[in-house]
Amino acid sequence: MITPKLLVAGELNVDLILNKIQAFPQVGKELLAEEMDLCLGSSSAIMAANSAAMGVDTTFCGVVGDDYFGDFILNELEKKSVSRRHVTRVAGQKTGCTLVMNYAQDRANITYQGAMNTLTINHIPFETPSDYQHLHISSLFLQKGLLKDIEQILKNARAAGMTTSLDLQWDPTEQWAFDYARCLPYVDVFMPNEAELLALTRTDSIGHGIEKLRPYMNTLALKMGRKGSLGICGDEEVSVPAFEVPHFVDAIGAGDSFNAGFIQKYMSGAPLEDCLREGNLMGALNTTAAGGTGAFCDFNTISEKIKDFWGIELCLS
């Protein structure tokens, strides 16, 4: 069997995570957090790292600055077995950083974008035939350099023979300047959560939001937190409940781990329901350890945990 090859193009930043915070911050006051962690952040990097941990041959395309956080990220990618051959270091730029204030099920994030803004279409390898089977893009609104050319990027990926997936994530400007009618036809799997679907389509119900996307989308994988996920592809509509989590720690990166699980199955040609179930499984596993990658050491530990928590035997295809 040929190992499926995944290319993830996107933002790179560190996460400085504050846990067990007394209350919500207020200007002019100071609060204490009982725990702190510095780890590989960014939706795209978490998705890439967890895909690699699951055994998928994964390459990252992104930009870091020439600084301490840049070194840290490159080391972390190496430790996670993600190829860095398309990661560029830009002199004079600072590497991105997200301050995560974590409150049980949800969190408040503040991101300094830094070097991630300089990633453009020109950094992405689109040679034909492609070295990669699939291109995943996340956090589009955090990456001005990709956002302006997203339609062309998706077309180039398709022309190079890759399938594509896109997780927009939240738009901090709340302008939602993503032309879904033009772009979604080139997205094989569109992966929003419920709030993002509503905001993008400017509707107040999931049903109406889906109807707006339907004429343009291929497969929709809608993430619904503790309710699980919903998949739609043509006339097929499948809902898969979430897994019960034995020891919930935090939900940081659950959506990215869902993406890793879903795309791993998708790349192996599995049916939609199996892709959703694997996504839910990895999303649930993600919540059993701190941060986005804490539960994803390597294939053996992932398999052991999944067997232990849910009695499921993990297989690669």
* The entry of ligand ATP, Mg ion, none that residue 262 binds, CB within 5 to 8 Å by partner kind: none
* The entry of ligand ATP, Mg ion, none that residue 228 binds, CB within 5 to 8 Å by partner kind: ligand ATP
111 binds ligand ATP (CB under 6 A): no
Strand partners of residue 60: 8
Instruction: Measure Cα distances from 308 to 70, 246, 280, 301, 305 in Å.
Output: 36, 10, 16, 10, 5
Least Cβ distance, residue 241 to ligand ATP (angstroms): 8
* The entry of Mg ion, ligand ATP, none that residue 225 binds, CB within 5 to 8 Å by partner kind: ligand ATP
The CA-based angle 246-250-253, given to 5 degrees, is 115
**Single-letter amino acid, residue 253:** G
Binding site for Mg ion (CB under 5 A): 255
By CB under 6 A, which span of 17-25, 111-119, 264-272, 279-287 interacts with ligand ATP? 279-287
Q: Tell me the CA end-to-end span of the chain in Å, nearest whole number.
A: 10
Q: What six digits make up the tokens of 82? A: 């993600």
287 binds ligand ATP (CB under 6 A): yes
> Packing angle between helix 43-53 and helix 68-79, nearest 10 degrees?
30
> In which order are the strands placed within the sheet that holds 236-240?
83-90, 57-65, 5-9, 134-138, 163-167, 189-190, 219-223, 229-233, 236-240
List Cβ neighbours of 236 (8 Å cut-off, separation of 6 or more): 272
Nearest partner of 232 among 220, 242, 218, judged by Cα: 220
Given 245, 267, 302, 314, the residue binding ligand ATP (CB under 6 A) = 245
The smaller minimum CB distance to ligand ATP, of residues 70 and 292, is found at 292
Least Cβ distance, residue 244 to ligand ATP (angstroms): 7
Given 114, 209, 283, 294, the residue binding ligand ATP (CB under 6 A) = 283
Site string for ligand ATP, 65-104 (x = CB under 6 A): ----------------------------------------
The smaller minimum CB distance to ligand ATP, of residues 63 and 240, is found at 240
Side-chain-side CA neighbours of 42 within 13 Å: the count stands at: 36
Least Cβ distance, residue 94 to ligand ATP (angstroms): 24
Give the residues lining the site for ligand ATP (CB under 6 A).
169, 193, 223-226, 228-229, 242-243, 245, 248, 251, 253-256, 258, 280, 283-284, 287
